[in-house]
Structure 1
Amino acid sequence: MKTMQRLFGALALCAAAAVASAADRLPVVASFSILGDLVAQVGGERVSVTTLVGPDQDAHVFQPRPSDARTVAGARLLVVNGLGFEGWLDRLAASSGFRGTQVVLSQGIKPRRMAHDHDDHAAHDHDHDHGGIDPHAWQDPRNVVLYVNNLVRALSQADPAGAAVYRRNGDHYVAQLLELDRWAAAQFAKVPQPRRKVITSHDAFGYLAQRYDIRFLAPQGVSTEAEPSARDVAALIRQIKAERISAVFVENMSNPRTLQLLGSEAGVKPGPRLYADALSVRSGPAGSYLEMMRYNVRTIVAALAKP
């Protein structure tokens, strides 16, 4: 009997310790799923992270709910991308009464400006949605190294007792990012440069294109909020046919209708979905940032290799 009482007592203490540990974690809110994964990787067991825009959801058209305001109000850190990506966030933070620290992970990155080439329908008037700046900087793993360093600094300031843990986790993750970059460069190097032409539903891959010397064309611009014009779609159809572009993709958070039209009119079947602004669910092919990037690279390279 005493043995059982001691056992139950030990279990109760363990349960109480677990509750206390969870309660002691630093409350962090991330604007969308990719940043939520970065916080989890660097913060580990010392943070409790909540993501506002979840897997397979579109941050461009996100409409915050009252529950999101309550979530933000309870955070010590609010982790955002910046570069104009979360146009709804300032209003949400103000309405919630948020009194914590907002952390802009893209701080220090040299932003990619959208081109104004009227002969190239990958860059049309939708770039004004972000002030002419491409906000999708995470598509270059080297930029994410800076994201991680900014995150390590912010977490360490908010939780000095965990600074060594955050730095260790950050260093480990940076090593994985640099390995990812080397691997991706080697994969794209297998494809002759003239064949590196890809059609995607919106222009979210500019940093990837810049890093690995690929040409991406998108009828929808950098935002998913507006539909492409019939003129843009017709021009892309002509371009697909003229340049024999075989790599045509839609993203996981986009409406596939435009790409399906492009494919049917140009005689090209759209490939598997890519992941641009949102991860998949955890059990999917892009449940983390590293998995997302490797999946996208493999999928794009396979399409480019087709005759």
Structure 2
Amino acid sequence: MKLINSFYAGIASAALALVAGPALAHDVKIVASFSILGDMVEEVVGDMAEVTTIVGPDADAHVYQPSVADARAVAEADVVFVNGLGFETWSDTLIAESGTKAVVHVATEGVTPVMVDGTADPHAWNSLSNGVIYVTNVAAAMKEAMPDHAADIDANAQAYIAKLKALDAETKAKLAGLPAERRTVVTAHDAFGYLADAYGMNFLAPVGIDTEAEPSAKELAELIDQIKSAGAAALFVENITSPALVKQVADETGLEIGGRLFSDALSERGGPATSYLTMFQHNLGTLLEALDKAPAS
């Protein structure tokens, strides 16, 4: 994705505004690339540091175009966290052109990627065991950046990891009871491969792992045939994508739309998925409610 010239100019201005010198621990500025990762970082650092998120709630990081304000935030940051695995196609340019002196950390370091047509699926957070890896990486980075707060950071991380592991066990237990004919569902784009692998589900989608790639008429027809032959039990829209394709699939297959899943971003304040934990709980509840209502094949 190419960034426009005015954006480069804005980045240059932000870089000139960068204030050199080490920050005090309570003044440490952290930038996270998108809302789910930002929430994880906030859980780990608590009120010990300032966290800025570039791609906010209900926004699509795949097609995001950074602003001058984003460049300024990165330029002034002490620590930057990105997802990696090709998720933020814009991040390398943003970081390089900002002139930031921040230490950049990839939150998916150590994750075993799911491969889709030879490409790493970046949506690793959709497995809670991977969520533990994210949090462990964030905690390690922040203990290095804020050594005087290492004990508090570690305590926050361990408490958070305990919650993630408990929800992981709950998710496995609840999904284990689904019969085979109710384990195939359809979503707007291919964001749930890690959830499928972790919990024994099968997800089909009209759009691949990158929301920019629209399916051709032939590809959509082939997917509809696959959905019919696989006996998909439910169909879901997502918070970051247009529901138009999903509605078309619903019309063609007769499947009812079972609700909205949160795939790549949290919900706005007041929504059902304002944190990583509540997002996963919402998605689990929405899946189970729809699949419980699905007619037996």
After TM superposition, give the deviation of residue 108 of structure 1 in Å: 1.0
- What residue in structure 2 maps to residue 64 of structure 1? 66
SS state at 2:65 partner: coil
Aligned match of 1:221: 208
Moved more, 51-60 or 224-233: 224-233
Match of 1:95 among 97, 106, 109: 97
Kindly indicate whether the alpha-carbon contact (under 8 Å) linking 2:204 and 2:227 is maintained by their aligned counterparts in 1. Answer: no
Deviation string, structure 1 residues 108-166 (Cα, Å, up to 9, x no partner): 1111111x4xxxxxxxxxxxxxx611111101100111111111111011111110010
Q: How does 1:84-163 map to 2 (within 5 A)?
A: 84-114=86-116, 116=117, 132-163=119-150
RMSD: 1.4
Percent identity for Structure 1 against Structure 2: 49
Deviations 1:9-46 (A, max 9, x none): xxxxxxxxxxxxx9933210000000110011000010
Shift of 1:170: 0.2
- Residue aligning to 1:30: 32
Give the TM-score normalised by structure 2. 0.88
Aligned twin of 1:19: none
Equivalent position of 2:280 in the other structure: 293
User: What corresponds to 2:250 in structure 1?
Assistant: 263
Q: Tell me the matched-pair count.
A: 271
Higher Cα Rg, which structure = 1
Structure 1 counterpart of 2:287, which letter? I
Match of 2:51 in 1: 49
* Native 8 Å contact 1:202 1:220 kept in 2: yes
Unaligned runs of 5+ in 2: 1-23
Kindly provide the amino acid, as one letter, of the partner of residue 159 in structure 2. H
5 Å-filtered alignment, 1:190-269, equals 190-269=177-256
* Equivalent residue number for residue 4 of structure 1: none
Question: Quick check: 1:174 aligned with 2:147?
Answer: no
d(CA) in 2 for partners of 1:259, 1:93:
35
In structure 2, the partner of 1:120 is none
Partner of 1:119: none
1:282–1:288 Cα contact (<8 Å) kept? no
User: Which amino acid in 1 is paired with 2:91?
Assistant: L
Letter in 2 for 1:110: T
Per-residue CA deviations over 1:45-67 (Å, capped at 9, x if unaligned) read 10110100000000000001111
Q: 1:243 to 1:90 in 2, by over 3 A?
A: closer
Q: Which amino acid aligns with 1:32?
A: F
Change (3 A) 1:107 1:243: closer
Tell me, yes or no, if structure 1 residue 279 matches structure 2 residue 266: yes
Is residue 82–residue 105 contact of structure 1 (8 Å, CA) maintained in 2?
A: yes
